A and B are shown apart, each in its own frame.
Chain A
Amino acid sequence: MTQLDISERQEGGILVLSVAGPINSYTFSEFQEKLDRATAKGSVVIEMEKVTTLSSAGIGVIMAALDDAETGGKGLSILRPSEIARLAFESTGFIERFPVISSLKDLA
């Protein structure tokens, strides 16, 4: 079975949650749990260049986290989404709601 790999790292004082693999109906709850844990610590960047698919359930997790971050005065950004992740964001019709960055330097 294809696994979702999620790891955390600190880069220049920023918490980066690196996600690789499919975010689908099977894996989205694991993604939600790890994203919630990360956002509880502060602002987070989700690195998505190795995401192989992104379902509406996964997008819902990100949108909920964005709402929470906004309410809590924290930041949440999406770093280098893969082609399929970008297409998934576009297909919601809410692309402008997703703060996509191409480099951590964009946060400066």
Chain B
Amino acid sequence: MDRTMTPVFSGTLSRRRSAEATIRLIVEKSGVFAFERFLDRIDFVLPSERLRLKLAACEIYDNLLRHAVPLVDGTAVIRVSRRNGTLYVGFHFKSPSFAAYSLRTGDHDPVFDRTSRRWHGMGLRMVRKLSTSLVFRAGELCDRVFIRF
């Protein structure tokens, strides 16, 4: 069963200067496929931006899975927008563990953990190289991650 809620696409599509696409997702492992489909369907993303958007946004989705779940209502609202020609992605959610995690999201060198055979910090490094800015904001009512391309 696809548990994705219906995505909404809106904006001044004729000029492509201002447009927006939003999805509310239940953040769970299998949700990454619905998220990838949502990103693939956004028509105001330029060909030169599409691969960077997909890689960077999916890394942040993975980041939420590993460091922010369980979310307060289990879902995140993810908004891809173009404003004044610049592409943005915003993740909006509430997690009890995000404030502490956001303090550890500085630009550090990735570290390889031989036991788990996983890199720690590699995903954030990739997002930073694929985008022009990455911002984590923990809030009382809502936590946010913003990527600007």
Instruction: Give the B-binding residues of A (Cβ under 8 A).
Output: 1-2, 22, 24-26, 32, 53-57, 59-61, 63-64, 83-84, 87-88, 90-93
Contacts and interface: CB of A to CB of B under 8 A. Distances in A.
Contacts, number: 78
Contacts of A64: 112, 114, 117
Given A55-B123, A60-B118, A22 B130 contact: no
Interface stretch (B12-20, B27-35, B74-82, B89-97): B27-35
A54 B125 CA distance: 14
A83 B117 contact: no
Given A53-B54, A55-B58, A56-B59, A32 B117 contact: yes
A57 B63 CA distance: 11
Contacts of B59: 55-56
B55 A53 contact: yes
Nearest to A86: B51
B119 A59 contact: yes
B117 A56 contact: no
B32 A26 contact: yes
Interface in B45-95: 51-52, 54-55, 58-59, 61-62, 65
B117 A26 contact: no
B71 to A, nearest CB: 16
B122 interface: yes
A93 B52 CA distance: 15
